Amino acid sequence: MKTTVFTKYHIANGAKMAEFAGYNMPIEFSGINDEHMTVRNGAGVFDVSHMGEIWVKGEHATALLQKIGTNDVTKLYDGKAQYSCMPNGRGGIVDDIIIYRYSEQKYLICVNAANIEKDWAHILEQGKAFGMREGVELENASDRISQLAIQGPLAMKIVQKMCEEEVENMEYYTFRQLQCAGCEVILSMTGYTGSGGCEIYMHNEDADHIWEELWKAGEEYGLKNIGLGARDTLRLEKGFCLYGDEIDDTTSPIEAGLGWITKFVEGKDFIDRELLAEQKANGVERKLVGLKMIDRGIPRHEYQVADLDGNIIGHITSGTMSPCLKVGIGMAYVKTEFAKVGTVVAVIVRGRLLKAEVVKLPFV
């Protein structure tokens, strides 16, 4: 298994470790519920160094991103970030990504850890059609960059102590290159918890120093280590898709409720545009929905969803007992006729039909 620069600290702090996307990653420290509520109410730090980073540069950079992504990159300005996804040419999704614009000829793409090699191969293949060269216009920097996500309502008070520039009031989905703890970093205001905060992208050689300074800055605010278990429950409460669960090579962005990042603007001939436009115009057979349990129970990944007569209408993609709501919640693909908010369906749990209601996302 691969390790991150911070793995030694996780083990020293007693983390429950497990393999994730080929990395030895911390799943939990003090317990998922405690860590979850720490982020909702205070501040927590996630090691997300397993995520991938790919540079796209040169005169064809914008054109390539318009081709491979569903969102409209021309709406970006320098210092602005954008959520998007890459269609695979078969109606599915290669990956969901975040694009950072430095200039019209320089972008950084953050990709999911499990998809780094697949994404890199896809971007390289598409880039060749524009004459873009590996190592020049296209560069996979994933192994040279570490990343920490500091999340929660107190997160930016902590990070501000490490930065001379004013960063506490940076806007959502913007980023800056600046000095943090005396090191050159990228400070990004995106997040995957819905509780505010930032990500710090750093050179591997600066990671130990930034880690030490972060804990000094965070001590007065009760900063805690947070594992991937709470990262999953936090993003689920906010209805954020997870690649491999809600979206994958077989799901379309229209089915997944990602029509808002699928822009059919003039001049943007992105992969699968015609197919996705047809789906948007004529509808899809299934849709991703949020489910809140009415009966006592927890919807789990791959549990079947049925109508109240027991006929199978879909399946759970992610589910948990919500630490904030104290009720079972989940996301599921269901037949479109059952996707309307307020519809009562059933989750099959150990042979029993447990009632659940289709609700508007996010859950909290």
| 3-class secondary structure per residue, the chain | CECCCCHHHHHHCCCEEEEECCEEEEEECCCHHHHHHHHHHCCEEEECCCCEEEEEECCCHHHHHHHHCCCCHHHCCCCEEEEEEEECCCCCEEEEEEEEEEECCEEEEEECHHHHHHHHHHHHHHHHCCCCCECCCEEECHHHEEEEEEECCCHHHHHHCCECCCCCCCCCCEEEEEEECCEEEEEECCCCCCCCEEEEEEEHHHHHHHHHHHHHHHHHHCCEECCHHHHHHHHHHCCCCCECCCECCCCCCCCCCCHHHCCCCCCCCCCCHHHHHHHHHHCCCEEEEEEEECCCCCCCCCCEEECCCCCEEEEEEEEEECCCCCCEEEEEEEEHHHCCCCCEEEEEECCEEEEEEEECCCCC
Query: Which domain-ending residue is among 173, 202, 237?
Result: 237
Rounded mean pLDDT of 268-275? Answer: 98
Rounded mean pLDDT of 245-262? Answer: 98
Q: Please check whether residues 151 and 233 belong to one and the same domain.
A: yes
Q: Please check whether residues 226 and 297 belong to one and the same domain.
A: no
Check which CATH number belongs to the domain holding 164 and give it.
3.30.1360.120
In this structure, what are the phi and psi dihedrals at residue 72, rounded to the nearest 5 degrees? -95, 100
Rounded mean pLDDT of 22-26? Answer: 97
Rounded mean pLDDT of 30-37? Answer: 98
Tens digits of per-residue pLDDT, 137-162?
999 999 999 999 999 999 999 999 99
Q: Are residues 313 and 334 in contact, defined by beta-carbon separation less than 8 angstroms?
A: yes
In a domain, 364, yes or no: no
Q: Please check whether residues 156 and 18 belong to one and the same domain.
A: yes
Sign of CA dihedral 328, 36, 202, 24: negative
Cα 320–chain centre separation:
18
Tens digits of per-residue pLDDT, 111-123?
999 999 999 999 9
pLDDT value at residue 302: 98
* Separation of alpha carbons 2 and 21, rounded Å: 9
* Burial environment of residue 282 by CB neighbours within 10 A (0 to 12, 13 to 18, 19 or more): exposed
Tens digits of per-residue pLDDT, 318-329?
999 999 999 999
In a domain, 266, yes or no: no
pLDDT value at residue 210: 98
In a domain, 311, yes or no: yes
In a domain, 64, yes or no: no
Q: Please check whether residues 147 and 28 belong to one and the same domain.
A: yes
Q: Please check whether residues 22 and 168 belong to one and the same domain.
A: yes
Q: Are residues 132 and 105 in contact, defined by beta-carbon separation less than 8 angstroms?
A: no
| Alpha-carbon distances of 311 from 11, 15, 149, 293, 314, rounded to whole Å | 47, 42, 42, 18, 9
* Separation of alpha carbons 249 and 300, rounded Å: 21
pLDDT value at residue 166: 98
In a domain, 174, yes or no: yes
Determine the longest span between alpha carbons in the chain, in angstroms: 63
Q: Please check whether residues 216 and 153 belong to one and the same domain.
A: yes
pLDDT value at residue 169: 95
Tens digits of per-residue pLDDT, 236-249?
999 999 999 999 99
Q: Please check whether residues 330 and 194 belong to one and the same domain.
A: no
In a domain, 36, yes or no: yes
Q: Please check whether residues 290 and 148 belong to one and the same domain.
A: no
pLDDT value at residue 152: 98
Q: Please check whether residues 147 and 38 belong to one and the same domain.
A: yes
pLDDT value at residue 314: 98
Q: Please check whether residues 307 and 225 belong to one and the same domain.
A: no
Query: Which domain-ending residue is among 237, 255, 275?
Result: 237
Counting the structural domains of the chain, the total is 2
Q: Please check whether residues 174 and 313 belong to one and the same domain.
A: no
In a domain, 303, yes or no: yes
pLDDT value at residue 243: 98
153-163: b (≥16 Cβ within 10 Å) or e: ebbbebbbbbb
Rounded mean pLDDT of 174-178? Answer: 98
Tens digits of per-residue pLDDT, 72-106?
999 999 999 999 999 999 999 999 999 999 999 99
Q: Are residues 51 and 108 in contact, defined by beta-carbon separation less than 8 angstroms?
A: no
Cα 8–chain centre separation:
25
Rounded mean pLDDT of 338-357? Answer: 98
* Separation of alpha carbons 111 and 21, rounded Å: 12
% of the chain exceeding 90 in pLDDT: 100
Q: Are residues 241 and 48 in contact, defined by beta-carbon separation less than 8 angstroms?
A: no
Average pLDDT of the chain to the nearest whole number: 98
- Angle of helix 228-237 versus helix 32-41 axis, rounded to 10: 60
Query: Which domain-ending residue is among 198, 213, 237?
Result: 237
Q: Please check whether residues 195 and 325 belong to one and the same domain.
A: no
Check which CATH number belongs to the domain holding 309 and give it.
2.40.30.110
pLDDT value at residue 155: 98
In a domain, 96, yes or no: no
Q: Which domain holds residue 295?
A: 285-359
